[in-house]
Amino acid sequence: MYNYILFDLDGTLTDPKEGITKCVQYALAACGIDEPNLDNLLSFIGPPLVDEFMRVYGFSKEKAEFALAKYRERFPAKGLYENKIYPGAAQMLAALKQSGRKIALATSKPQPYAEKILEHFKIKDYFDVIVGATFDSKRNDKADVVAEVLKQFGITDADKASVIMVGDRKHDVLGASKNGIKTVGLRLGYAEPGELEEAGAIYIADDIADLENYLLNTK
């Protein structure tokens, strides 16, 4: 049984497509790049944004950090609320909490933003631990985020078999794996076909109901 459940946020509990892609679009415009098709920016949902600006557009670290700063001009006021909670997600968290599970948020989104989103959707109280990235980028890799969650829970190597990560992208799977934790994937998010399987997710849920059943009933 999984006694400790770590959830990613974007693409796992909520659908942040509109807010993230519009903020990336805004940042790119500040860098002289016009991208009218928001669907071309879906890869920015999940990974650290500086890394993705560098990977997709070949930005230098300095230019990627400038783009991130422009992204953060728009996100707190508008992008944060251009977001939707997946149907059934709140009920799933309530059921897990009632069953005695310890629940954590482990997201690459800056922690203050993540906490505001949880508050906005009235699900913050379900979480025992909330860990996100830091604004200074000292903690933005998913492996570092997961490590901090495990630290706050006081998880030892002997406890790790009772811990599971839930996420929708390979970054969730790989970040958990670096900490000796397995991952359940969720197809509702923004992974490319085969991405979660290739990364090593031990199970891939088709929807929130499937995910809830797996988390509650796996022995």
Active-site residues, by number, are: 8
Q: Phi, psi at residue 140, to the nearest 5°?
A: -130, -20
Q: What is the DSSP string of 149-201?
A: HHHHHT--GGGGGGEEEEESSHHHHHHHHTTT-EEEEETTS-PPTTHHHHHT-
Please, is 110 exposed, middle or buried when counting C-beta atoms within 10 Å of its C-beta (0-12, 13-18, 19+)? Answer: buried
Could you report how far apart the first and last alpha carbons of the chain are, in Å? 4
129-133/203-205 β-pairing: unpaired
Find, among 83, 87, 148, the residue nearest to 119 by Cα: 83
